[in-house]
A and B are shown apart, each in its own frame.
Chain A
Amino acid sequence: MPFHEMFEPDGSIRPCYAEVQNWVERTGIAGLNRRMDEAEAIFRRIGITFAVYGEGGDPERLIPFDLLPRIFTGQEWRVLDKGIRQRARALNAFLHDVYHRGEIVKAGIMPADIIYRNSAYLAEMADFTPPGKVYSHIVGIDIVRTGPTRFEVLEDNCRTPSGVSYMLENREIMTRMFPELFAQGVVAPVDDYPAELLKSLKEVAPPACKGDPVVVVLTPGSLNSAYYEHSFLADLMGVELVEPADLFVDDDRVWMKTTLGPKAVDVIYRRIDDEYIDPLVFRPDSLLGVPGIFNVYRNGGVTLASAPGSGIADDKAVYIYVPEMIRFYLGEQPILDNIQTWQCGKPDECAYVLENLHELVAKEVHGSGGYGMLIGPKSTKDEIAAYADRIRANPGEFIAQPTLDLSTVPTLGPAAVVGRHADFRPYCLVGKQIRLVPGGLTRVALTEGSLVVNSSQGGGVKDTWVLQD
C-alpha cells in the first residue's frame, strides 16, 4: 500500500490533517462538492486558464481544482526547504562550471558528451558570466513522496517553470471560500512570492543599470498557453508585460516602445525559449525574437532570466548527476534523493532495462508532459515490445526508472474522500539570496490509480499548506 498522506495504515487521521477532517465532517461531502462548483465558476469568471509548460492542449482550458489541501508539517517542510535550496545552488554552480572550466568533466564525474553534445548546451554562452553568477533564477523542482519521511526528486526545471500562478490562485480561492480555515493562522502564507520574485530579479540587474532596475516580463503573446500566468506575474509585480515586438536594441541597450518614446529595460524575466530570443544568434526564422538582444546581454546591457543555455541543467540525462554535483560543488551530502535511474545509453544498464521493461517506467530524454513514456506494469506485451524496439534503435535517447510507490493525497470524490497520487513543485528563487516561499504547486492525478498528474492527461491541482508550528 502506498503511503497515504491523510490516514495512518490503521485508518486513523494523521495529526496534521485533523483540522481538515473536522472541516470535511462539518461541511459534508455534498456540501464540499457544491463549493467545488463555486470555486470552478470563480476560476472561469476571472479567466484563470492555463496549460503547464510543454503539455500543449487548449490554451483556454481550465485545470480541475480540488478543494482538499495537501499538507506538510513544519518539520517536513524544513527538510524540503533545505533540500530544495541545496539543489538550486548546485544546479547554478554546475551551469557556471559547464560554461567555463568544466571541472566536473575534468574530475571524471560526468562524461563530456552528455554536456557538450547536448542540444540544450549553448556554445554562445561559453566564457560569459551572467550578473551574480546566476543562471537559473527560478528553479522548479518536481518532488514525489514515497514514504512517511522519504521525498524523491523527479525532475528539475531550470528554464521557465510554470504553474506558480496556480499556487497563488489556489490559495486565494481557498481563503475566499473558507476564511475560517485560515483565521487561526496555522497555514504559512505564500502571497509574498511576487514581491520576492521582483527582489530576486532586481538583484541581478546588469552592470549598465543605473538606479532602480526596470524589470519586465517577456511573453510570446496572448495565444501562449501560459499567457495567463505571464500577465498575472507582471500584474502582481507591477511591471510591464511585453511581447518581443515591444522591444528593440539600440546603442547597446534594450528598449521598450512606450507612448512616451523608448524606455530602457534592465532585467527581462523571459517566458520564451532560448531559440526564439534572438534571430541574429539562434533561429533566423524566428519571428518572435528581439534582434541583437543576445549581444547586449553579453555586453552587460541587460539581464535575461533565466540565462540562455540554462536548459542543460534540467536535461533528463544530466539529472542523474545532480547528487554528484551537490557533493562536488558544495561539498555536502544531498538532502533530497534522486529517483534511481538507468541510462539506456550505457550498455549494461540498457540490458537491464530491456529485460525488466514490464516493471519500469521508461521515458524519452527530451520528452515532457507524460508523452512518449511507457509505464511498464500498465502496458500490454505488444506495447512493451514496440517500446523496446525504439530503445534498441536509439538507446541514448531513453532512460528508465522504477515504478514508485507514490504517496496518495486526500481528494474529493463524489461520495467520499479518496486517495490520489500527486507530485509537488516548489519554486526556488535565486538572486543574491536564495528565497523560497513555504508552498508550491501540488498536481494530482484525478483518476484512481493513475500516476500521471499532467493537466493534459486529466490531472488537477490543489492548494498546498505548510503548517506553522
Chain B
Amino acid sequence: MLSRTAENLFWMARYMERAEATARLLTMGQRMAILPGAHHRDEWRSVVRATGALNHFPEGAQVTESDAIAFLMLDLDNPSSIRSSLLKARANAKSARTMLTQDMWEALNEGWRKLDSYDVAEARQQLPALIDWVKTRVMTFRGAAHSGQLRNEGHDFLRAGSALERAQMTLRLLDIKYYVLLPETEVVGGNRDHYQWTSVLYALSGARAFHHVYGGTYTPWQITDFLMLNRLFPRSVAYCYDQLAYRLNRLAGWHDARAACHDTVREMVADLEKLDSGEIFRAGLHETVQSGLMSTNRLGVEIAQAYHFG
C-alpha cells in the first residue's frame, strides 16, 4: 500500500473520531451548564480545554455557550472543530478513495457541506439535531468500515488512527475533570463534583455501562478506574491501548518488520497494567494523564516514521 494512502486512512479515522468526540463534548457542556450549582460558568471553558485548544481564548475570559459552539462546531480556523474535522476527513478519504468501500465514502460524502450553511444562532438553536447528525455520520462510517472494508493493512491503519485519537480524548476528559474543574473550596466527592463526574461519563456514553460494572454509586476512583483501566469499555484508555497494540502487531506481521512504535505501544500497555486507581490518585491523576498524552503523541510520530508517512 502507498505510504500516503496509509497516512490518509490513519488521519481520516482520527478526524472522524475527533468530530464525534467534539460533538459529545458539546452535549456534555450543555448538560453541565444546566446542572445545579453551575454558577461559575467555567463549564464551557473546560469543554474547550478538553479539545486542547484553550489557547485560542484569552486567559481569564469567559467562554459562553455561543463562543463554544462557534469555536468547536463551526470555526474553520480551529483545526479540531467539527466542521474542520469532517472536511479534513473527507479530503483524506478523497485522496485514499480507492481504499474505501462505496459505503464508507458515502458516509463521508453525504451532506459534507451541511455545516457551511449554519451561523452560530442557528447552530445553537438546533444543537441536539446537529450533534445527532454528526454522531450518525461517524457511526455510519464506522459501521461501513466494520462490515465492508477488507481486513488488509488499510483497515489496521484506520483502526489504529481511531484508537489513538480516542485514547487521547478520554485522557483529556479525565484531565479537565480532576485538574481544572474542581474548585478549591469544594471537597472531592461533593455535590457538584458528583454531577461533573457523571457528565464525563455521559460525554463518553458510558453512564449505563458504568452501572453495569460498578453498581449504582459514583466515586471519582471508580470512574477513573472505569475510564482508564477497564478493558470492557471501548472508550477506556486501556481498551484503546490494547487495540493499538493489536493493530500495530498486525502491521508488523504484514510487513515482517518491527519499529520503535511497536516497542512503545508494548510499554504503554505494560505500564498501564501495573496501575490501579488508588495508585493513579496517589501519583496524581493529572500527572498520569499528562504522561499518557505524551506517550500517545510519541506513538503517533513513531507510527508515521515506521510507515514512511509524509
Binding site for B on A (CB under 8 A): 45-47, 221-222, 227, 231, 234-235, 240-243, 245-246, 256-261
Q: A241-B97, A259-B307, A260-B254 are in contact. List 7 more A-B contacts (CB 8 A).
A: A45-B110, A47-B106, A231-B98, A257-B4, A259-B6, A259-B308, A260-B255
Determine if A222 and B98 form an interchain contact, defined as CB atoms under 8 angstroms apart: no
Task: Kindly state the separation between the CA atoms of A46 and B104 in the bound complex, as whole angstroms.
Answer: 10
Q: Is B105 an interface residue (CB 8 A)?
A: yes
- What residues of chain A lie closer than 8 Å to B98, measured between beta carbons? 231, 234-235, 240-241
Task: Assess A246 versus B106: contact at CB under 8 Å? Given A241-B97, A260-B255.
Answer: no
Determine if B2 and A256 form an interchain contact, defined as CB atoms under 8 angstroms apart: yes
A114 to chain B, nearest CB (A): 41
Chain B interface residue count, CB cutoff 8 Å, equals 22
Determine if B105 and A47 form an interchain contact, defined as CB atoms under 8 angstroms apart: yes
Task: Assess A46 versus B109: contact at CB under 8 Å? Given A234-B98, A243-B4.
Answer: yes
Determine if A227 and B94 form an interchain contact, defined as CB atoms under 8 angstroms apart: yes
- What residues of chain B lie closer than 8 Å to A256, measured between beta carbons? 2
Determine if B4 and A46 form an interchain contact, defined as CB atoms under 8 angstroms apart: no
User: Which residue of A has the minimal Cβ distance to B4?
Assistant: A246
Task: Assess A259 versus B94: contact at CB under 8 Å? Given A46-B105, A242-B2, A245-B4.
Answer: no
- What residues of chain A lie closer than 8 Å to B105, measured between beta carbons? 46-47
Q: Digit string of B296-310 for contact with A (CB within 8 Å is 1, else 0)?
A: 000000000001100
Find A258's partner among B3, B91, B109 (CB 8 Å cutoff).
Answer: B3
Q: Is B283 an interface residue (CB 8 A)?
A: no
Q: Kindly name the residue among B91, B97, B109, B255 whose own CB sees the greatest number of chain A CB atoms within 10 A.
A: B97
Task: Assess A222 versus B94: contact at CB under 8 Å? Given A45-B106, A259-B153.
Answer: yes
Task: Assess A257 versus B308: contact at CB under 8 Å? Given A47-B109, A242-B2, A243-B4.
Answer: yes
- What residues of chain B lie closer than 8 Å to A47, measured between beta carbons? 105-106, 109
Task: Kindly state the separation between the CA atoms of A227 and B3 in the bound complex, as whole angstroms.
Answer: 19
User: Which residue of B has the minimal Cβ distance to A227?
Assistant: B94
Determine if B102 and A258 form an interchain contact, defined as CB atoms under 8 angstroms apart: no
Q: Is B61 an interface residue (CB 8 A)?
A: no
Q: Is B1 an interface residue (CB 8 A)?
A: yes
Task: Kindly state the separation between the CA atoms of A242 and B97 in the bound complex, as whole angstroms.
Answer: 11
Task: Kindly state the separation between the CA atoms of A234 and B308 in the bound complex, as whole angstroms.
Answer: 22
User: Which residue of A has the minimal Cβ distance to B308?
Assistant: A257
Determine if B109 and A222 form an interchain contact, defined as CB atoms under 8 angstroms apart: no
Task: Kindly state the separation between the CA atoms of A221 and B105 in the bound complex, as whole angstroms.
Answer: 17
Find B97's partner among A231, A243, A246 (CB 8 Å cutoff).
Answer: A231
Determine if A258 and B97 form an interchain contact, defined as CB atoms under 8 angstroms apart: no
B231 to chain A, nearest CB (A): 29
User: Which residue of B has the minimal Cβ distance to A221?
Assistant: B95
- What residues of chain B lie closer than 8 Å to A221, measured between beta carbons? 95
What 9 pairs between A and B have smallest CB-CB spacing? A231-B97, A222-B94, A259-B307, A235-B98, A47-B109, A257-B3, A222-B95, A259-B6, A241-B98
Task: Kindly state the separation between the CA atoms of A246 and B97 in the bound complex, as whole angstroms.
Answer: 15
Task: Kindly state the separation between the CA atoms of A47 and B97 in the bound complex, as whole angstroms.
Answer: 11
Determine if A46 and B3 form an interchain contact, defined as CB atoms under 8 angstroms apart: no
B contacts with A: majority SS: helix
A274 to chain B, nearest CB (A): 24
Determine if B2 and A240 form an interchain contact, defined as CB atoms under 8 angstroms apart: yes
- What residues of chain B lie closer than 8 Å to A246, measured between beta carbons? 2-4
- What residues of chain A lie closer than 8 Å to B6, measured between beta carbons? 259
User: Which residue of A has the minimal Cβ distance to B309?
Assistant: A259
Determine if A258 and B110 form an interchain contact, defined as CB atoms under 8 angstroms apart: no
- What residues of chain B lie closer than 8 Å to A259, measured between beta carbons? 1-3, 6, 153, 251, 254-255, 307-308
- What residues of chain A lie closer than 8 Å to B251, measured between beta carbons? 259
Within 8 A of A (CB), among B228-263: 251, 254-255
- What residues of chain A lie closer than 8 Å to B91, measured between beta carbons? 222
Task: Kindly state the separation between the CA atoms of A258 and B105 in the bound complex, as whole angstroms.
Answer: 23
A445 to chain B, nearest CB (A): 29
Task: Assess A235 versus B4: contact at CB under 8 Å? Given A259-B153, A260-B255.
Answer: no
- What residues of chain A lie closer than 8 Å to B254, measured between beta carbons? 259-260
Find A45's partner among B5, B94, B109 (CB 8 Å cutoff).
Answer: B109
Within 8 A of A (CB), among B81-123: 91, 94-95, 97-98, 102, 105-106, 109-110
Task: Kindly state the separation between the CA atoms of A256 and B3 in the bound complex, as whole angstroms.
Answer: 9
Task: Kindly state the separation between the CA atoms of A347 and B109 in the bound complex, as whole angstroms.
Answer: 55
Find B2's partner among A222, A231, A257 (CB 8 Å cutoff).
Answer: A257
A389 to chain B, nearest CB (A): 45
B91 to chain A, nearest CB (A): 7
- What residues of chain B lie closer than 8 Å to A235, measured between beta carbons? 97-98
- Please name 19 pairs of A and B residues whose Cβ atoms are closer than 8 Å in the assembled complex, sorted by A: A45-B109, A46-B105, A46-B106, A47-B105, A47-B106, A221-B95, A235-B97, A235-B98, A240-B98, A241-B98, A243-B95, A245-B4, A256-B2, A257-B3, A257-B4, A259-B1, A259-B2, A259-B251, A259-B255
- What residues of chain B lie closer than 8 Å to A46, measured between beta carbons? 102, 105-106, 109
Task: Kindly state the separation between the CA atoms of A243 and B91 in the bound complex, as whole angstroms.
Answer: 15
A175 to chain B, nearest CB (A): 16
- What residues of chain A lie closer than 8 Å to B307, measured between beta carbons? 259
- What residues of chain B lie closer than 8 Å to A222, measured between beta carbons? 91, 94-95, 97
- What residues of chain A lie closer than 8 Å to B94, measured between beta carbons? 222, 227, 231
Q: Digit string of B255-291 for contact with A (CB within 8 Å is 1, else 0)?
A: 1000000000000000000000000000000000000
- What residues of chain A lie closer than 8 Å to B109, measured between beta carbons? 45-47
Q: Kindly name the residue among B2, B3, B255 whose own CB sees the greatest number of chain A CB atoms within 10 A.
A: B2
User: Which residue of B has the minimal Cβ distance to A245?
Assistant: B4
- What residues of chain A lie closer than 8 Å to B110, measured between beta carbons? 45
Q: Kindly name the residue among A222, A242, A245 whose own CB sees the greatest number of chain B CB atoms within 10 A.
A: A222
- What residues of chain A lie closer than 8 Å to B255, measured between beta carbons? 259-260
Task: Kindly state the separation between the CA atoms of A45 and B102 in the bound complex, as whole angstroms.
Answer: 10
Task: Kindly state the separation between the CA atoms of A257 and B3 in the bound complex, as whole angstroms.
Answer: 6
Task: Kindly state the separation between the CA atoms of A258 and B309 in the bound complex, as whole angstroms.
Answer: 9
- What residues of chain A lie closer than 8 Å to B102, measured between beta carbons? 46
Q: Digit string of B145-174 for contact with A (CB within 8 Å is 1, else 0)?
A: 000000001000000000000000000000
User: Which residue of B has the minimal Cβ distance to A263?
Assistant: B2
A148 to chain B, nearest CB (A): 42
User: Which residue of B has the minimal Cβ distance to A219?
Assistant: B95
Task: Kindly state the separation between the CA atoms of A306 and B5 in the bound complex, as whole angstroms.
Answer: 25
Task: Kindly state the separation between the CA atoms of A234 and B95 in the bound complex, as whole angstroms.
Answer: 12
Task: Kindly state the separation between the CA atoms of A142 and B105 in the bound complex, as whole angstroms.
Answer: 33
- What residues of chain B lie closer than 8 Å to A45, measured between beta carbons? 106, 109-110
Q: Kindly name the residue among A221, A240, A243, A260 whose own CB sees the greatest number of chain B CB atoms within 10 A.
A: A260
Task: Kindly state the separation between the CA atoms of A231 and B1 in the bound complex, as whole angstroms.
Answer: 15
B187 to chain A, nearest CB (A): 52
User: Which residue of B has the minimal Cβ distance to A243?
Assistant: B4
- What residues of chain A lie closer than 8 Å to B4, measured between beta carbons? 243, 245-246, 257
Task: Kindly state the separation between the CA atoms of A259 and B105 in the bound complex, as whole angstroms.
Answer: 23
Task: Kindly state the separation between the CA atoms of A387 and B111 in the bound complex, as whole angstroms.
Answer: 45
Task: Kindly state the separation between the CA atoms of A245 and B3 in the bound complex, as whole angstroms.
Answer: 11
- What residues of chain A lie closer than 8 Å to B97, measured between beta carbons? 222, 231, 235, 241
Task: Kindly state the separation between the CA atoms of A241 and B98 in the bound complex, as whole angstroms.
Answer: 7
A102 to chain B, nearest CB (A): 41
